[in-house]
Structure 1
Amino acid sequence: MTETARTARTARTVPVAGRSCPDCGTAVVGGGQYVSWCAACDWNVDPGARDEEPPGRIERLRQRIARHAGEQLFTELTAGTGPVAGAEPATGAATGGGAVSQRGGRDRRGGRGGRRSGAARQLALGLASLVHGVTLALFAGGLWLLVACWGRGALPVFGALAIGAAVLLRPRFGSLSKAAEHKVVLRRTDAPRLFALLDEVAGSVGTTGVFAVVVDADTNAGVTTYGPRGHRVLHLGLGLWEILSPQERLALLGHEFGHYSHGDTRRSFVVGNALHSLDTWRHTLAPQRPDGLMDLFVNLVTAPPRLLVDGTLALLEHLTLRDAQRAEYRADAAAARVAGTEAAAGLMDRLLVSDGVTGELRRESVAARTRLGGARREDPAEGLWERLAAHAAAVPGHEYERLRRAAERRGHQVDSTHPPTHLRHRRLMCDERAEALIVLTPQRAAEVDAELSGARRTVAHELVRG
């Protein structure tokens, strides 16, 4: 990102000549392809909120609980003046030591908050084990019905159904081949400079690198593990990667590797698979649109177990939410430590425009498949990422300011496991400004880009083909 683009993101709002706010009479800002709004009274600051379809009941509950928990945790973290626990040097991250705050205290697990978090983790583990126990009971009961009751009417059929349900709900290690289907997978021999950078970032937050990198067009990134041996994999969405400056890319990597060095209960094998099983139950027991008496009967019969599943899922998510959100704050602190506070805060801004970037990618895909713009360029995939970066760099400062204010009103989150984005940004700015441990020089950035060039071409062609 150029200095001009960075300056535009932090510039003050500029009124639009000849247009006034209908509520307070102040000159509005924005216009053209961007929303016109009033910086004085926030008129029209979030017009999209009126157009969005309301999410389902469970998702609304998730968002409400996540927003409340994020605000509460932010208040607790900023009650002192020190950094988020886990933002200490790599030695502390690797050994699990508490973070030293500017007050000189340490975030020990033995405090009231630590005891409460520890109790919640134990309860979550117990509840998750109970969920897996139900799956095991289904399998054992189904096997007994199938073997011991063979030839006794419909009992073996019910046994087979129970075994099928248990197989569907079983804990999974995951498969890289399935997760990376129709995506580009890079290994160390494919991109040695990229993996060297990943190893350096991982080492700076007290953890180790990854086994593979999966590249796609998403405006997101993430880390996960696959297989019984727990191979680590980085998912890199070019829709996000390509709109970031070199230091913001380091912040993104620091954040993702921060998840490895600062544990999250929801990412554990037991709890993570229990959440997956409960989600599967929810979809299986979801009520059907009643087209007759039979549908009404089925919905009535499945109502009690559906309510039980919903309640169990809500409880398990509530027990693990605090750990999940604290892990996000810690990962943000790791991002600031690796790439500097400015780059980590810039990454938060980029997350706010991710919907617009996704829309631009969709527009490129539709235009290519309908031949729109065909006269302008022979190959629509050529230069796609450069056009996307230019689109993001052209977003003016007043649009970033509007998105921040809209995010604060909505409690914008990447998803229900994340604290509100504006609080993550504010938390970064509350801490003492960190200087970057790693600086991605233009030469090194170009070398990494060169290794990603093949993946960029492949993903671009897949995108425009739809």
Structure 2
Amino acid sequence: MCDWNVDPEPSKEKKGRLARARGNLARRHSERLLAELYAGGTLRARRDASAVLAFAVALVVHALTLAVTAGGIWFIVRGWGGWGMVPGALLLALGWSLRPRFRQLPKDTPVLRRAEAPELFALVDEVAGTRGVDTIVVNDWINAGVGSYGVRGRRLLVLGLPLWEILSPQQRIALLGHEMGHYVNGDTRHGLVVAAAYRSLITWHYYFEPGEHDPLDEAATLQLIVDLLYVVPRLLVLGVLTLLDRLSMRASQRAEYLADRVAAQAASTRAALEWMDRMLILDSAAVTLGREVNRTSLNRPRGKQQTDAWAKGLWERLAADLASVPEREHERLRRVGALRAHSVDSTHPPTHLRHACLQIGEATPPAVVIDDERDRRIAEELADARTKVALQILQDGY
């Protein structure tokens, strides 16, 4: 099939060196895993030697943070009341910025508990095959994700309404299946220890980043000297980040493929493939939301009642707009995605490879099906959140 003019406007997105390297590494590992599957290999979660080494490297990073903090305490105790308190305070501030952070629930977006949305939580449990999550956060993200929050590591599902609202019921099950799959697929990269080490290393990298040089500024020479002094530690941080990427990336790609398998088992292979196709038009969803924001600013509804009514209709207008995208455009986007190696982010396998992975072997029938009545009950549980998130988008912009 000829791809002439299928991508008339190549992507102009600029990525940093680290993101490009990570994306290339992710693509190589995902291609190798897919080749192994085509050759008759199996795909299963496991903790291999690379995962153990990644965990060990992460522990070394955390040990450095502890050493910095301990050094700050030592300087303050030994130099109490004198100049020794200055380096002590600096080291303590650095150690505080590098500390592992426990995620907290947001205060400016709807948070759902089991008592508030029993039908939605029951669906998540059914898809997960066990107790799914403790809390669901509903926001304006055109995506979804899982994680943990608090010291006890409670399970959290972040549900982006702009994505949820453009999916069919079975596609929503595929989305939930993929997210729940991350809890059982051995993804070292998203474990608490390794993820916290990544955050610490990225903070180090930020501190050692070279500053802007203005030739007319008298302090430019001093800034240049400081940047030169930072070259070696910056390279060391980049080296450790690259090492962690190489040790954990294969497990990360395998985890994404496994999560896709869970999506197909829950919703059916067909629904999972359709859900992936919807991920290719997320840019169109962002454009539609931006257009709705502009339209609201030009023709602002009067009064709370009209405003709420306009906000409630946002999701119907968004779903109708994206449903009008013809099949030929979906096919073009699939081909563009393959040419550009489109992926959700720099750590995910390219979407077309995920698509190919699901088509290996026999198609899977759905294990979970939503009927109209259950879909209506879930919509009722999300009604208040739908209005609040829509108002946030229309008032704050997108």
Which TM-score tier does this pair reach, normalised by the shorter chain? over 0.9
Residue matched to 2:169: 246
Residue matched to 1:147: 77
Judged with a 3 Å threshold, the aligned counterparts in structure 2 of structure 1 residues 47 and 307 are, in CA distance, closer, same or farther, namely: farther
- Among 331, 355, 358, the alignment partner of 2:259 is 331
Write out per-residue CA displacement over residues 331-378 of structure 1, whole angstroms, 9 at most, x where no aligned residue.
Answer: 10001101111100111101111111122112212321243899xx95
Aligned-partner Cα distance in 2 for 1:277–1:355: 31
Write out per-residue CA displacement over residues 55-100 of structure 1, whole angstroms, 9 at most, x where no aligned residue.
Answer: 1111111111111111111111222176x436xxxxxxxxxxxxxx
2:179 is the alignment partner of 1:256: yes
Residue matched to 1:58: 18
2:270 is the alignment partner of 1:342: yes
Whichever residue aligns with residue 85 of structure 1, its letter is R
What does 1:16-415 correspond to in 2, within 5 Å?
Answer: 40-50=1-11, 52-80=12-40, 84-85=43-44, 118-153=48-83, 155-176=84-105, 180-203=106-129, 207-291=130-214, 292-371=220-299, 378-379=306-307, 380-415=310-345
Aligned-partner Cα distance in 2 for 1:454–1:372: 21
Could you tell me how far 1:217 is from its partner in structure 2?
A: 1.4
Write out per-residue CA displacement over residues 381-402 of structure 1, whole angstroms, 9 at most, x where no aligned residue.
Answer: 1310001111111111111111
Mapped contact 1:81–1:431 kept (Cα < 8 A): no
Whichever residue aligns with residue 296 of structure 1, its letter is L
For residue 430 of structure 1, give the secondary structure of its aligned residue in structure 2.
coil
Mapped contact 2:20–2:346 kept (Cα < 8 A): no
Could you tell me how far 1:456 is from its partner in structure 2?
A: 0.4
For residue 382 of structure 2, give the secondary structure of its aligned residue in structure 1.
helix
Mapped contact 1:367–1:373 kept (Cα < 8 A): no
Whichever residue aligns with residue 395 of structure 2, its letter is R
Whichever residue aligns with residue 89 of structure 2, its letter is A
List runs of 5+ in structure 1 lacking aligned partners: 1-39, 87-108, 110-116
Whichever residue aligns with residue 283 of structure 1, its letter is Y
Taking structure 2 as the reference length, what is the TM-score of the superposition?
A: 0.93
Judged with a 3 Å threshold, the aligned counterparts in structure 2 of structure 1 residues 399 and 163 are, in CA distance, closer, same or farther, namely: same
Mapped contact 2:312–2:386 kept (Cα < 8 A): no
For residue 387 of structure 2, give the secondary structure of its aligned residue in structure 1.
helix
Judged with a 3 Å threshold, the aligned counterparts in structure 2 of structure 1 residues 294 and 458 are, in CA distance, closer, same or farther, namely: same
Aligned-partner Cα distance in 2 for 1:454–1:290: 50
Could you tell me how far 1:174 is from its partner in structure 2?
A: 1.7
Whichever residue aligns with residue 302 of structure 1, its letter is Y
Whichever residue aligns with residue 270 of structure 1, its letter is V
2:347 is the alignment partner of 1:422: no
Alignment size in residue pairs = 387
Mapped contact 2:75–2:85 kept (Cα < 8 A): yes
Aligned-partner Cα distance in 1 for 2:3–2:254: 31
Aligned-partner Cα distance in 2 for 1:337–1:136: 44
List runs of 5+ in structure 2 lacking aligned partners: 215-219
Judged with a 3 Å threshold, the aligned counterparts in structure 2 of structure 1 residues 62 and 81 are, in CA distance, closer, same or farther, namely: closer
Write out per-residue CA displacement over residues 267-315 of structure 1, whole angstroms, 9 at most, x where no aligned residue.
Answer: 1111010001111111222111112112211211111111111111111
| Aligned-pair Cα RMSD in Å | 1.8
For residue 233 of structure 1, give the secondary structure of its aligned residue in structure 2.
strand
Residue matched to 2:217: none
For residue 189 of structure 1, give the secondary structure of its aligned residue in structure 2.
coil
For residue 439 of structure 1, give the secondary structure of its aligned residue in structure 2.
coil
Query: What is the percent sequence identity of the aligned residues?
Result: 49
Write out per-residue CA displacement over residues 164-190 of structure 1, whole angstroms, 9 at most, x where no aligned residue.
Answer: 1111111122212xxx23111011111
Whichever residue aligns with residue 392 of structure 2, its letter is E
